[in-house]
A and B are shown apart, each in its own frame.
Chain A
């Protein structure tokens, strides 16, 4: 489910800004590192984990805003190759910066004490924390859907995805809108990293691992499609788990085979729209 958080940000940036953000995985990593740092200062007990996770995501969101305002803005409408090269360079620079700040040694964040327990269902054990993530995913998806469909800002964002010039001509500050979309997407990426930190090690290199998975999810679901991303994340998880259960050595293959099949039948993804 957390993969949905990251993929949603990636999909949002592509849907509205038409930029494939390779640095998105790095935002995820920075979210995890920022949370680790805040946890070092504040601890995880007494509900403080939630503050640190939110803080970590906000730090990343702010960084995302700065990057959009001063760097990304120059890329819109440019050749895709430039965009890809730029975001890739950004990913390298940010991950090296993270290494200088936190070193190469892996870091670890404890689970919040409120959620260290586990639920026993039919002989299987589901940790409370995993359950929380499973519930959080649809909640965030729903919140996003409401914002996109029912609010003025949501209408603007959808309009910007369709026709940027007309929206500008109608008196909407598209530049500011783009910045906020990027901030939001960075926030989602950072939140993904922050929330996953209690379940994984925070290490250099976690960014490139996740970006591949996020791309697979987004491609299966459809680039720029919100529910498509949600569906893609669900399918990815299911195919992987059942693959491991029945064909342990081919589970990864199964996921990529699925992606290839989707690309052949519907190159724009399950719920995406064909590019004009």
Chain B
């Protein structure tokens, strides 16, 4: 009983202490991100990337003399849950900004919350074009992720250089799969009209048995295949495709977007990876193009205690970096001022300078592309040579 009384007194005392001056209060950033279920595969490292950035900037004294504080919430990759968490972060945790969401369903849903509450929201991963489409755009939403248009067109630029005419596609039957495939097909037909799309397969999201789709597709004798089967699903798809000799039949004229060539995927498949195909990734620890990138990878490797750190951390990192730079530029944490500061803002990120366009609040975030090869330095396939495809020239 005594102890409880003491606790109550202490609590009361703590409440009575006058709040510290405003400048000492941390700047709070809410991050709804899938931290459970299969999408946690990307949500977790992205959150870690953001946490590392916050730790680093706070060690240097924070922003405007105030520390950053990151509050993460599990959005469960569900639009309703993400909205609920975003509201709670704003109302209960009094966050000043939102950075987060992963799926193309969560992003636009949280964007509406940001609009209602007039709070800056930076989306680091959702790719759907709808997030920043003219009818959905509002002053507070920004994206540092790639888009389905950028990704589809980047792949089309690569496939156009192959000596192939008969092209087929394999994508999940939902927003991301449809949008990125459409962008790919339209751009490819525009830059290389001689190409013919001979087959399009649409397995359901999360399909486990691709054999019927692969058989039906190969019966149409394509010379090249574009796939947007992502994450762990790519592992399943490519294992089954490899077993029936699909990659050999295509002479490795295969490009997997949806980050099919991340070090994580290659690592988990080891010698089973269909070495020789083309793929993309947001980041690759072996890229090492610039001193800034090498330093980032070394820090991340230490932070995650992983020799081959995740390629997804970069998106959380860049999202927070844009926010911090915008606060500095605005010299304020007022969302209206920060939103204005974000327009046209260029930030030196670990993957090079990125700019958020004024027109649609979209960063010119391209991705790394390359043909995969086995490298004796690693026990898994890497992209080599790995090229950063700058999307600026083919963004609308």
Contacts and interface: CB of A to CB of B under 8 A. Distances in A.
B344 interface: no
B212 A245 contact: yes
A199 B239 contact: yes
B288 interface: no
Judged by DSSP, the binding face of A is mixed
Contact of B202 (A107, A129, A248): A248
Contacts of A248: 200-202, 213, 216
A198 B239 contact: yes
A108 B212 contact: no
Given A203-B232, A210-B208, A105 B268 contact: yes
Contacts of B9: none
A130 interface: yes
Contacts, number: 94
A106 B212 contact: no
B231 A106 contact: yes
A205 interface: yes
A101 interface: no
A173 interface: no
A244 B37 contact: no
B38 A203 contact: yes
B271 interface: yes
Interface in A209-242: 209-210, 213, 240-241
A104 B44 CA distance: 9
Contacts of A130: 211, 243
Contacts of A203: 38, 41, 231-232, 235
B299 interface: no
B202 A110 contact: no
Interface in B314-363: none
B212 A199 contact: no
B40 interface: yes
Contacts of A210: 208
Nearest to A3: B209
B201 A106 contact: no
Interface in B265-290: 265, 268-272
A74 to B, nearest CB: 28
B296 interface: no
A104 B33 CA distance: 14
Contacts of A108: 235, 239, 268-270, 272
B interface, size bucket: 35 or more
B204 interface: yes
A48 B239 CA distance: 20
Contact of B243 (A105, A127, A240, A245): A127
A204 interface: yes
B269 A204 contact: no
Interface in B204-226: 204, 206, 208-209, 211-213, 215-216
Contacts of B202: 248-249
A118 B38 contact: no
B61 interface: no
A200 interface: yes
A69 interface: no
Contacts of A110: 270-272
Contact of A244 (B200, B212, B244): B212
Contacts of B212: 240-241, 244-245, 251
A161 interface: no
A130 B213 CA distance: 16
A111 interface: yes
A3 to B, nearest CB: 9
Contacts of A198: 239
A125 B269 contact: no
Contacts of B38: 104, 203-205
B264 interface: yes
Contacts of B234: 201
B58 interface: no
A252 interface: yes
A178 B379 CA distance: 47
A104 B36 CA distance: 8
Nearest to A95: B37
A106 B41 contact: yes
Given A106-B232, A107-B268, A124-B215, A118 B37 contact: no
B38 to A, nearest CB: 4
A206 interface: yes
B245 interface: yes
Interface string B25-61: 0000000000011101100100000000000000000
Contacts of A111: 243, 272
Given A111-B243, A200-B239, 4 more contacts: A99-B36, A205-B38, A206-B208, A241-B211
28 contacts: A104-B38, A106-B232, A106-B235, A106-B265, A108-B235, A108-B268, A108-B269, A108-B270, A110-B271, A111-B243, A127-B244, A200-B235, A200-B239, A201-B233, A201-B239, A203-B38, A204-B38, A240-B209, A240-B212, A241-B212, A241-B215, A244-B201, A244-B212, A244-B216, A245-B215, A248-B200, A248-B216, A249-B173
